[in-house]
């Protein structure tokens, strides 16, 4: 919940203590899992491969945000995607 929820009575709060603990454990576990995967990629394939993988992951997140949140895609966005792909593969 948000900070302003603390001013509400306990019955009106949207997050329970158990819900908050569950989210914190899941968030921490996923962070640890992601770090472990990054370390494994670096160990087995090298830093360049890890750098390309993390950059591609970030770009995928950005591309998905256009589709999920119905953002307007302009010519500048398409040009940026093309420059990104060329730079990633070159």
Q: Which helix (H) or strand (E) holds 28?
A: helix 17-45
Name, in order, each residue with C-beta under 8 angstroms of 17's C-beta and a sequence gap of 6 or more.
none
3-state helix, strand, coil in the chain (%, to 5): 80, 0, 20
Mean pLDDT of 72-90: 86
| Distance separating alpha carbons of residues 57 and 55, to the nearest angstrom | 5
pTM exceeds 0.85: no
pLDDT in tens, 22-70: 999 999 999 999 999 999 999 999 999 999 899 888 888 888 888 888 8
Does the pLDDT value for residue 8 go beyond 70?
Answer: yes
């Amino acid at each position: 919940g948000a900070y302003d929820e603390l001013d509400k009575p306990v019955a009106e709060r949207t997050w329970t203590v158990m819900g908050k603990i569950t989210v914190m454990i899941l968030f921490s576990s996923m962070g640890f899992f992601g770090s472990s995967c990054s370390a494994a990629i670096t160990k087995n394939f090298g830093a360049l491969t890890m750098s390309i993988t993390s950059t591609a992951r970030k770009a995928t997140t950005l591309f998905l945000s256009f589709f999920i949140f119905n953002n307007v895609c302009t010519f500048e966005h398409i040009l940026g995607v093309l420059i990104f792909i060329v730079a990633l593969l070159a």
